[in-house]
Structure 1
Amino acid sequence: MPISINLFSIKRVTLASPPTQPPYCPCCSRVSKRLITRSSNRNGNAGRPYSKCLHCDKFLVFDDYRGNDSTNPECHCGYSSKRQVSGRSKPVAGRLHYVCRLGMCDFFSPGKDAKGIDVIIDMDLTEDLSRLSIIWYDSFIAS
């Protein structure tokens, strides 16, 4: 089913800032390490900075502005969340959801439409939105 978007109806977004320091891991409370995704990353995340807990081997957050709309739902930390879309290798590919923008808590909230139904975005559209920094595509192997 084709999607039609009126570009003139899109509102200007104020982006919230990413973490300024690597966050503490919400699982083990250790300071995470700031890393950069490989240039060979095929999921639209090449060269992006991110934080990972090396002790838990847990990805925490991308350390950039992509998906950081200040009007996103508030996470458990009291800050606006990060909007992202699950990648092809996830159980529900293209699922819009929100996570902690600062990587400090385990906040997760599915994106819902006006009828309360989960928003699923076509993967081709997902890649286009990712390139425009509107969302980020969370199916990647970071190392």
Structure 2
Amino acid sequence: MPLQPSQVRALTSQRLVASTLTGRYSTQFDGLMAATMLVQTLGGSSTTYINVPMSEILHALSRPLQPQFPLNSPLCRRCGWRPRYRCTVTGNQNGNVGRPYYICVRCHWNCSQGLQDHHKRWITWDDDRGIRGSNPRCYCGAASRQDRAGAESSMPGLGFWTCATGECDYFSKFQNGWTDKERALSLPNPQCVKFVPWLL
């Protein structure tokens, strides 16, 4: 089974600096590069250690992380409060009936007081809909989520990319995953086009 960077923790006598949240791993050795690394597999009732070739570890880390659902008590990235877990109602007009999601109650209250834009209370969906390994990476280093803008938005029915877990503020309305800032700082790119979502 292919090694997944979010499912392993490397244990070795050499110093290893690892971050499974961002998918960025670096090793510092006192000389020769090890051919294999002792890895502890996560999950299951007993601890298991296996020797994994470094080439396989590096290959796994070159792929976007796959977010794991359901989420484990995420925090609002804007205010740090714990958001409320809810499900969409049966009358949802955007094809999201019954989908679980998180919304920040504190930011929601601020919106009702006119202190913030309405969309800033949203955290994320709590499912893997619209997430594929080939999606653009968000700022977390993970595969982003493809989603559809609602009927009340400025681009109703069109697709966009966003952080799959709501941990970062990555957002792209272009099919190639570029942000508005990246497009503004670059030469005109014909692939920066708006799109209709196909993964939903």
Q: Which TM-score band (shorter chain)?
A: 0.5 to 0.7
Q: Give 1:24's match in structure 2, choosing from 47, 50, 75.
A: 75
Alpha-carbon offset, residue 117 of structure 1: 3.3
1:82 aligns with 2:145: yes
Q: Which structure 2 segments of 5+ residues have no match?
A: 1-65, 109-120, 177-188
Q: Give 1:67's match in structure 2, choosing from 124, 130, 142.
A: 130
Normalising by the residue count of structure 2, what TM-score does the alignment of the two structures yield? Answer: 0.50
The within-5 A match list for 1:1-143 is 16-57=67-108, 58-112=121-175, 115-121=190-196, 134-135=199-200
Distance 1:48 1:84 in 2: 13
Structure having greater relative contact order (Cα 8 Å, sep ≥ 6): 1
Distance 2:192 2:123 in 1: 27
User: More strand by proportion, 1 or 2?
Assistant: 2
Is the Cα contact below 8 Å between 1:22 and 1:33 reproduced in 2?
no
Distance 2:192 2:165 in 1: 27
CA RMSD of aligned residues (A): 2.1
2:164 aligned partner, one-letter code: R
Give aligned pairs, total. Answer: 111
Is the Cα contact below 8 Å between 2:175 and 2:195 reproduced in 1?
no
Q: Which residue of 1 aligns with 2:55?
A: none
Alpha-carbon offset, residue 115 of structure 1: 2.3
1:119 aligned partner, one-letter code: K
Distance 2:147 2:157 in 1: 9
Distance 2:194 2:68 in 1: 25
Q: Which structure 1 segments of 5+ residues have no match?
A: 1-14, 136-143
